[in-house]
Amino acid sequence: MNGRNAITIVSMMVLVGTEVFAVAIAAGWALAGLFDLGDRLGHVLMCVFSLFAAWIMLQLWRRATSIEPLRTAPTAPRR
């Protein structure tokens, strides 16, 4: 396991994940308040936007691990 790449990817996922989920929840709350949709529909919007945020995070994880692999390639034995 490549520890340096793992720390980089996990740190990036925490930073971006916090921002993405905060925007998803704030957007649901703001739209519900703007259009006077009520608490229940506001929570539904927050859930829907959070699912979209989770999909974004999955795509980010896949791209990050393709660029910075977590496992090191096995090396050939030296002669």
Cβ atoms 76, 20 nearer than 8 A: no
- Structure confidence by residue, pLDDT tens digits, 10-61: 999 999 999 999 999 999 999 999 999 999 999 999 999 999 999 999 999 9
79: pLDDT strictly greater than 80: no
* Amino acid 74: pLDDT: 66
* Amino acid 13: pLDDT: 97
Mean pLDDT of 73-79: 68
DSSP 71: S
9: pLDDT strictly greater than 80: yes
d(CA 12, CA 60): 10
- Give me the torsion for CA of 6, 9, 12, 14, rounded to 10°: -70
Secondary-structure breakdown of the chain: helix, strand, coil percentages, each rounded to the nearest 5? 75, 0, 25
Domain extent listing, the chain = 3-67
